Amino acid sequence: MNNPKSIPPLTHLAIIMDGNGRWAKKRGLPRYEGHREGTKVAKKIVEECRKLNIKYLTLYTFSKENWKRPKEEVNFLFKLLVDFLNREYKSLVEQSIKLNILGDYTKLPFSARKAIEFTLKKTKDCNKMVLNLALNYSGRDEIIFAIKKILKQGIDPESLDEESFKDFLYTRGQPDPDLIIRTSGEIRLSNYLLYQSAYSELYFTPVLWPDFTEQDLHKALDDFAKRQRRFGGI
């Protein structure tokens, strides 16, 4: 693994954690075992990003489309979320990692909402890293939600520009992702950070999320370091 000091400046990393179900299927296991293993990987990657001084990390945890999955699987995903937050909030505080939620978490089960609210309160003063969990999230829905807020506040449309519009998104006050990683070999964004990803670098790996290691993270960051970001210029 590379020395963390060799990693290029990267302020905001976003990850689409894909492939839990396929990982389990390949091993003849129920899908929930893939999700369980994926949670363990998420913990490792959060800790590695903190060591690398990455200021913002966004994990695509549960999309609005995921409600279409079997009820038993959805319930298990939220149980994993509750267990993760109840178990790890002390570690987040110790590492000074602030939890932030992208999406409408008020629609989640009661136990999940309470665990989220508890962790939000416990980590509110942490300032070394922000961990965004995209929960009940949809990129298109986020844009519509922002427009509704603008209309309700009676803001003059002529006063809006790309930067001021960002103030109405879930990521208000945060920089756009420098890099978006998607695991499992799928090559699409799947309704993820659609406004924020306009100039993000994209990295796709065939590695299934439960197999994703700190070394795989460094490989993606090394690839990012070789790219030239022009933002539409020359």
- Tell me the pLDDT tens digit for each residue of 46-60: 999 999 999 999 999
* 133-162 mean pLDDT: 96
Q: Are 23 and 211 in contact (CB under 8 A)?
A: yes
In this prediction, residue 229 has a pLDDT band, given cuts at 50, 70 and 90, of confident
Catalytic hit among 18, 20, 100, 132? 18
**So what's the pLDDT on residue 234?**
63
66 is an active site residue: yes
Q: Quick check: helix, strand or coil at residue 189?
A: coil
> pLDDT tens digits, residue range 63-115?
999 999 999 999 999 999 999 999 999 999 999 999 999 999 999 999 999 99
Catalytic hit among 66, 86, 211, 216? 66
Q: How many CB atoms lie within 10 A of CB 201?
A: 16
Structure pTM? 0.93
Sketch out the chain's domains with CATH numbers. 7-138+176-225 (3.40.1180.10)
127 is an active site residue: no
> pLDDT: is 199 or 9 the higher one?
199
Q: Are 88 and 122 in contact (CB under 8 A)?
A: no
Q: Are 222 and 194 in contact (CB under 8 A)?
A: no
Query: 219: alpha, beta or left, given left = phi > 0 and alpha = psi -120 to 50?
Result: alpha
